[in-house]
Amino acid sequence: MIASAGNRNLFLSDIKELIPEGSSIEDSTLIANQFIDGWIRKSILLKEAASSLGPQIDIDKLVRDYRESLLIYNYEKKLVEEQLDTIVTKEQKEAFYNQNRETYKVVNPILKGSYIIIPSNFRGLTGFKRNWIRQNKDEIYDFATNNNLTASLNDSIWVTFESFKNQLPEDIFTDDQFRSENPIDKVNDGNQYFVKVEEFLDIGEIAPLDYIEDKVEKVILYNRKIKLLKNIKEQLYQKELQLNRIKINR
């Protein structure tokens, strides 16, 4: 025995495996002393906890319940990994979405839009304005990329109104201007800001499927998982019932 505390004993065999093979005497001593110190402190705390709680807590039941929960959790996880159909087709997403549209309402305003920032004295700005008003998207894209301008021109993706506004100077446009879905522009601190909102959805409106597609897929997979486990549990129950392995004494 190399240490004793809290009605527990620590033996050399308990720490031998902690010391890596080939360790120097100094390293071995350091590792052993650190472990012994931690063991003593833990032993004292365990004794105090047992004395304080006493019969108030049924440790054996807690351990048993925890063990059972771990077994069931890992078994269900194995079943899901092996048997759950994780392929969700576009048609399945659309069907689920159409049946549950009212569930998916916009919490924060979202929009599809584009913007481009151009120095006010930039050469070619006049020609760009004509393309902007006409929304000649190919010409707008080429102008932005060829001149390495700050821009976001992918107007087919939904983003939050807040994140879109954060790319622009504060209060440069009013909220009503964004909602109008008309091409807008304004000069501010030596730059001209061009904005075009394609679609705008406000709080309470139905969120489009392409904005919540990931959420829809997760719900479908969760529902499948619940159904799968419920069916397997019922099959196990019926099997044991048919084999007469269930006894109930009433």
Q: How many CB atoms lie within 10 A of CB 173?
A: 19
Question: Given this model, what pLDDT does residue 12 score?
Answer: 85
- In angstroms, rounded to a whole number, what is the distance separating the alpha carbons of residues 208 and 97? 9
* Ranges 14-18, 32-36, 75-79, 133-137, most confident: 75-79
List 10's β-bridge partners, or say none.
Answer: 3
Angle (CA) 113-115-118 rounded to 5° is 170
Q: In which element (H, E) is residue 78 found? A: helix 59-83
* Ranges 131-135, 170-174, 229-233, most confident: 229-233
Confidence of residue 228 (pLDDT cuts 50, 70, 90): very high
Query: Global pTM?
Result: 0.77
Q: Convert the pLDDT of each residue in 39-96 to its tens digit.
A: 899 999 988 888 888 777 788 888 999 999 999 999 999 999 999 999 999 999 999 9
Q: Convert the pLDDT of each residue in 139-196 to its tens digit.
A: 999 999 999 999 999 999 999 999 999 999 998 999 999 998 889 999 999 999 999 9
